[in-house]
Amino acid sequence: MWSPSRRIKILEERGLEVILADARDVKYVPGRKSNINAAQWLQRLHANGLLRGSFRPTQELANRRTLVRHLERLLAYAASHKQKALMEMNLQLNHAVNDITGKIGMCILRGILAGKCDPVVLASYSDCRCKPSEAIIHQALVGHYREEHVLA
């Protein structure tokens, strides 16, 4: 069985105008809407200008949407993997910094990747705009920096 988008594409290739109508719009228009004559009823509504077509993006826009959604999923996966690695190292950075993928969080993560394991040095990467103090960040960065967790 073909997907609805495939069916629409086939109809458009054959020169037919395809309109996707929202069922909620048709629901309140008076008339018979049984399964037997639904197609004829919808055709009459369309002929009288009572059907409003839904937005259908162009193929190029649909492709871009797919790529953006894929990128968003990858970024979410990356953030969750960073958080998991920090938890395995017994670091509670998420309690001290709102967004570990933000400016301060990324500075601290880059420091850890560079081999800096001293919580005092890592806490000094925070700036004056950071709500938690360096002492709180220092406490959040006390843990064990095992090589396999840093690699993760």
How high does pLDDT run on average in the chain? 80
pLDDT for the residue 69: 95
pLDDT for the residue 104: 79
Least confident of 19-28, 47-56, 58-67, 115-124: 19-28
pLDDT for the residue 75: 85
Provide DSSP, the chain.
---HHHHHHHHHHTT-----B-HHHHHTS-S---TTTHHHHHHHHHHTT---BPP---HHHHHHHHHHHHHHHHHHHHHHHHHHHHHHTT--HHHH-S-TTSHHHHHHHHHHHTT---HHHHHTT--TT-SS-HHHHHHHT-S---HHHHH-
pLDDT tens sequence across 46-84? 888 888 888 888 889 989 999 999 999 998 888 788 888
Least confident of 75-79, 109-113, 126-130: 126-130
The more confident residue out of 37 and 7 is 7
pLDDT for the residue 61: 93
Residue 23 reports pLDDT greater than 70: yes
pLDDT over 70 percentage in the chain: 87
